[in-house]
């Protein structure tokens, strides 16, 4: 197995094809072990992960904590670091990071400010894993997203992927866009309300790597041609204007009628949580992959913890 060359995981751009292949090979190993004879159940025995979440989380936080424990490690955590840590007393992120360096072997951090994980990584002597930084990035989500897509389309070529919903504030869609530039003959279709279209920095990055993209307003116009629909929640908490939120809310709903227009081999993904953009009636459709996608998060995060800590 190749050497993992990253000390921290703070953004999707850190991963080239070789690193992605290493992560996915390790993810396959973790999945097989977890479903098999559990030879890796003690591989991180004695290691401690600090779960430092300044924003709410269900899947990311619990999958990371489960991943660490399933590899034999321990977890120290707080329910809401913004409210129940010294951050409530005014402690800076840099001071909190330095303190946690003495208590743990790896820090998994979710913060409300874009760029926060990168700032923490600059001063940290132990690995920092970005679990979401405001409207910035969510690289581990992007890794499990790509892993899920590759499970359905192993060649990862000649794919059309529609990113739908809140693309301006949706860090998962941003991070996934970065990783999709690593594959050949991928086309991205951005389907979003005017108030939350994909930002220009992502479009410039796609242009730089010659990845074709286009914007559409009508989901029904593209649903029959795409291989993957990546739905996102319109994030009310990130909107500064109630009027803008109302313009975007509930604009795109993946109804059974729309799903009937999809190709049979196409897939539906969602980083979750969902609100009303995917009705529960879709859950039983063969294209639905979002719960499998969430489960893959456990295996991918087990792989990352193992790769970051195996030689430390």
- Spell 95-133 as b/e; 16+ CB within 10 A means b: ebbeebbeebbbbbbbbeeeebbbbbbeebebbbbbbbb
Answer for the pair 104, 74: CB distance below 8 angstroms, yes or no: no
Beta bridge partners of 213: 188
Distance CA 111, CA 133 (A): 5
Burial grade of 54 (CB within 10 A; 0-12, 13-18, 19 or more): buried
Q: Which of 47, 61, 119, 138 is catalytic?
A: 138
Given 47, 110, 168, 251, which residue is catalytic? Answer: 110
Q: Any catalytic annotation for residue 270?
A: no
Exactly one of 26, 60, 140, 148 is catalytic; which is it? 60
Residue 8 is among the residues annotated as catalytic for this protein: no
Is 138 tagged catalytic? yes
Burial 246-257 (b: 16+ CB within 10 A, else e): eebbebbebeee
| Identified catalytic residue from 59, 197, 238, 274 | 59
Cis omega (within 30 of 0) for bond into 273: yes
The reply to whether 204 belongs to the active site is no
Instruction: Report d(CA 169, CA 214) in Å as an integer.
Output: 18
User: Which residues belong to the active site?
Assistant: 59-60, 89, 110, 138
């Amino acid at each position: 197995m190749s050497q993992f060359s990253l000390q921290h995981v703070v953004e999707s751009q850190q991963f080239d094809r070789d690193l992605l292949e290493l992560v996915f090979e390790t993810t396959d190993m973790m999945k097989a072990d977890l479903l098999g004879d559990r030879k890796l159940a003690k591989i991180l025995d004695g290691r401690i992960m600090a779960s430092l979440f300044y924003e709410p989380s269900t899947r990311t936080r619990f999958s990371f904590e489960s991943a660490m424990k399933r590899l034999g490690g321990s977890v120290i955590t707080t329910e809401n670091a913004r409210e129940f840590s010294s951050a409530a007393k005014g402690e800076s992120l840099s001071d909190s990071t330095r303190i946690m360096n003495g208590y743990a072997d790896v820090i998994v951090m979710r913060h409300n400010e874009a760029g926060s994980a990168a700032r923490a990584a600059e001063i940290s002597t132990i690995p920092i894993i970005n679990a979401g930084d405001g409207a910035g990035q969510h690289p581990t989500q992007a890794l499990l997203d790509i892993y899920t897509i590759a499970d359905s389309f192993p060649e990862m070529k000649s794919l059309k992927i529609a990113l739908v919903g809140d693309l301006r504030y949706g860090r998962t869609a941003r991070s996934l866009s970065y990783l999709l530039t690593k594959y050949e003959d991928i086309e991205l279709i951005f389907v979003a309300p005017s108030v939350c279209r994909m930002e220009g920095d992502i479009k410039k990055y796609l242009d730089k790597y010659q990845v074709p993209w286009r914007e559409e307003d009508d989901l029904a116009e593209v649903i029959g041609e795409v291989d993957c629909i990546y739905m996102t929640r319109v994030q009310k908490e990130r909107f500064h204007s109630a009027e803008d939120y109302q313009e975007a809310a509930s604009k795109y709903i993946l109804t059974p009628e729309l799903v009937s227009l999809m190709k049979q081999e196409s897939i539906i993904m969602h980083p979750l949580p969902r609100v009303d953009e995917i009705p529960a009636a879709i859950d039983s459709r063969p294209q639905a992959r979002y719960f499998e996608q969430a489960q893959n998060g456990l295996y991918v995060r087990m792989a990352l913890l193992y790769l970051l800590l195996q030689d430390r």
